[in-house]
Structures are given as structure tokens and as C-alpha cells.
């Protein structure tokens, strides 16, 4: 197998002074097309949502289909816009405000004639950190994920937990919704005898759209078959033991396991301390490990992550 492409984009954001209650989030991102000819992932770090350093936004979008890149770009622009324009709603009810931002973005994306959403769309995972409240709200559609790492007990090391759940037909409630709307759910079977792929959503007896996720933004055909743009939203407290937040496209987690993520971030922090530079080193290392892991599994995907270290 030829060597992996070396083109990887990276960047950092974060304060150098503690903002409130001794908490400083330090964020960095890294992304690579991997072995795919195009990059359809997008990431976002906003250091001052609502024009205030008290609110941070971190996001990853994973486009699919011919116009997947355009769908990811659209979601990257419009979800924060909806939140900024609806600040009072967020202050009153963050969970409902995030749901409204996703659903409004999903509707307007389907109406945008400049983007072919017939069989193109994007997943999304968006985290809004409320610094003074030491709380992060995480919304997701699709199979991009959010993971939180915590210090367990003194001398026991760290533990990583997946916060989001993947939206696919392996989940009974997701599968039942698709079937109730007329979707056909089945896995692709290959003539060479290799194991069947994941369950996919099809239209009647037709061989399309073949979508794996059951929630997304875009995907006009699939949205007539029970695929929805309503996110799950999770409220997570940033305790003194919380060490990091990682959000990533499915390519990240196709290549690295949670224990491997934990080992990478823990090693970087133990070696270099908690800093913006450490966040960048950790993010870069996760991208590199995910690409190597996908190579071993003979998988092929983009890989994008945002890593947030908590200095407290």
C-alpha cells in the first residue's frame, strides 16, 4: 500500500488566562483527506459565540455525496448563525435552541437550489461550552462523535466516555422510524463472500440512496424515508476532574479506539503539560493514528477532529 498523503491541516484557538472558576479551554483541530481524493469534512472553533468569551463553540461536519462538501460548509456557516440570532432562546433553553438551529439549518439547506441535496448531506456534532457555568451542550446528527476524558481517582489514571450515540439502523428506534416512513432497511451483500456492510436506508426496491445514518442535514430523498435533522442534545458538566473534550468525524473512530484516544491525549499532557501547543500535538497525533488505523483495517475516509483541553 502506498504511503499516506502527508497533507494535514491544523490550527489552534484558546485563551491564556483563566476565564471563570479556574477553567480555561484550549482548543486545536487537525484534518486530513486520508486516501480519499476529496476532503468533505469541516471543523469549526469559535472562541466567542454570542460575542462573548464566556461561550465557545466547537464543531465537526462530515459531508457525503456529490455535494457533501457544500453541505458541510453550509452547516458550518448556518448553525452558528442561527444560534447567534437566537441568543435569548439559548440563554433560556440551550437544548431546545440547539435543536431549533439544527432543524432550521436542515430546512434551509434542502431549499438551497445551489446545492444538490438529492443524495448529498452532512453529519454534524456541535458543542457549546458555557464557561462560567462549567457546562457543555453537545448536539449531534449522524455518526460523528463527542468523547469526554476524565481523571478517575488519584493514581487510577484517566477514563474516556462517548457522550453521543450514533444514529443508524442498528438502533431499534431509528430503524423503526425509517421503516414506518416507507424506507427499506438492509445491508449490502457482496459477491466475493466478504461480510455484509452496515444496514442502509433504501427507497422501495430501488438501489438508492443507501444512506447509513438515520439523522443528517440535507439528503432530500432519505428525509422522505424517515431520516431526520433533529439532533440528540446532551448536557455535560465540566467537573474539576474533566480533562478533555474530543469531537470527530467517523473516520477518526474507524481508525482509533477510545483507549487509544485516551492514551494519546494522556501521553501528550503528561509529557508537555496542558497548553494550546499540547492540544495541537494531541489533535495531530489522533489524526495520524486514525489514518494508520484505517489503513490496517483497509478502510478509506477523511479524518477530522477538534480537541479541547481543560486547564483548571
Strands (E), 80-226: 121-130, 135-141, 145-151, 158-162, 183-187, 199-203, 209-211, 217-218
Q: Residue 209: is the preceding peptide bond cis (ω within 30°)?
A: yes
For the chain, give every domain's residue range.
9-163+231-311
Strands 183-187 and 121-130: unpaired
Residue 200, φ and ψ in degrees, nearest 5: -130, 160
Distance CA 169, CA 178 (A): 8
**8 Å CB contact between 174 and 140:** no
Distance CA 299, CA 19 (A): 42
Q: What is the length of the chain? A: 312
Mean pLDDT of the chain: 92
Supply the CATH classification number for the domain 9-163+231-311. Answer: 3.60.40.10
Contacts of 235 (CB under 8 A, 6+ apart): 94, 95, 135, 136, 137
Rounded to two decimals, what is the model's pTM?
A: 0.93
What angle in degrees, to the nearest 10, is found between the helix axes of 258-272 and 276-296? 150
Contacts of 138 (CB under 8 A, 6+ apart): 125, 126, 127, 146, 163, 164, 233, 234, 236, 247
DSSP for 15-30, written as a single string: -SS--BTTBEEEEEEE
Going residue by residue through the chain, which has 312 residues, state the pLDDT in tens, using 9 for 90 and above. Answer: 444 443 445 555 544 335 445 899 999 999 999 999 999 999 999 999 999 999 999 999 999 999 999 999 999 999 999 999 999 999 999 999 999 999 999 999 999 999 999 999 999 999 999 999 999 999 999 999 999 999 987 667 899 999 999 999 999 999 999 999 999 999 988 777 677 889 999 999 999 999 999 999 999 999 999 999 999 999 999 999 999 999 999 999 999 999 999 999 999 999 999 999 999 999 999 999 999 999 999 999 999 999 999 998
What is the per-residue pLDDT for 22? Answer: 82
| DSSP count for the chain of H helices, then E strands | 8, 15
Contacts of 93 (CB under 8 A, 6+ apart): none
User: In percent, how much of the chain has pLDDT > 90?
Assistant: 87
Amino acid at each position: 500500500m502506498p504511503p499516506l498523503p502527508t497533507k494535514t491541516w491544523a490550527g489552534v484557538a484558546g485563551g491564556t488566562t483563566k476565564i471563570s472558576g479556574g477553567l480555561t479551554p484550549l482548543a486545536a483541530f487537525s484534518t486530513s483527506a486520508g486516501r480519499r481524493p476529496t476532503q468533505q469534512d469541516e471543523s469549526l472553533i469559535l472562541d466567542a459565540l454570542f460575542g462573548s468569551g464566556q461561550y465557545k463553540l466547537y464543531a465537526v461536519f462530515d459531508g457525503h455525496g456529490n455535494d457533501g462538501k457544500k453541505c458541510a460548509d453550509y452547516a458550518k456557516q448556518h448553525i452558528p448563525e442561527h444560534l447567534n440570532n437566537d441568543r435569548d432562546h439559548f440563554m433560556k433553553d440551550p437544548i431546545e435552541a440547539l435543536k431549533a438551529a439544527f432543524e432550521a439549518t436542515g430546512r434551509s439547506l434542502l431549499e438551497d437550489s445551489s446545492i444538490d441535496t438529492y443524495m448529498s448531506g452532512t453529519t454534524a456534532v456541535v458543542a457549546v461550552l458555557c464557561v462560567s457555568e462549567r457546562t457543555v451542550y453537545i448536539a449531534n446528527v449522524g455518526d460523528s462523535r463527542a468523547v469526554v476524558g476524565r481523571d478517575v481517582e488519584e493514581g487510577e489514571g484517566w477514563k474516556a466516555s462517548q457522550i453521543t450515540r450514533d444514529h443508524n439502523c442498528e438502533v431499534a428506534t431509528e430503524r423503526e422510524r425509517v421503516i414506518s416512513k416507507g424506507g427499506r432497511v438492509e445491508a449490502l451483500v457482496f459477491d466475493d463472500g466478504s461480510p455484509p456492510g452496515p444496514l442502509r436506508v433504501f427507497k422501495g426496491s430501488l438501489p438508492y440512496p443507501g444512506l447509513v445514518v438515520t439523522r443528517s442535514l440535507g439528503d432530500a430523498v432519505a428525509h422522505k424515508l424517515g431520516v431526520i435533522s433533529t439532533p440528540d442534545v446532551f448536557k455535560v458538566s465540566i467537573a474539576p476532574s474533566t480533562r478533555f473534550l474530543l469531537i470527530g468525524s467517523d473516520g477518526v473512530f474507524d481508525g482509533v479506539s477510545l483507549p487509544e484516544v485516551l492514551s494519546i491525549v494522556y501521553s501528550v499532557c503528561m509529557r508537555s503539560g496542558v497548553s494550546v501547543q499540547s492540544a495541537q500535538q494531541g489533535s495531530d497525533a489522533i489524526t495520524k493514528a486514525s489514518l494508520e488505523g484505517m489503513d490496517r483495517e483497509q478502510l478509506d475516509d477523511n479524518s477530522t477532529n477538534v480537541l479541547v483541553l481543560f486547564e483548571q
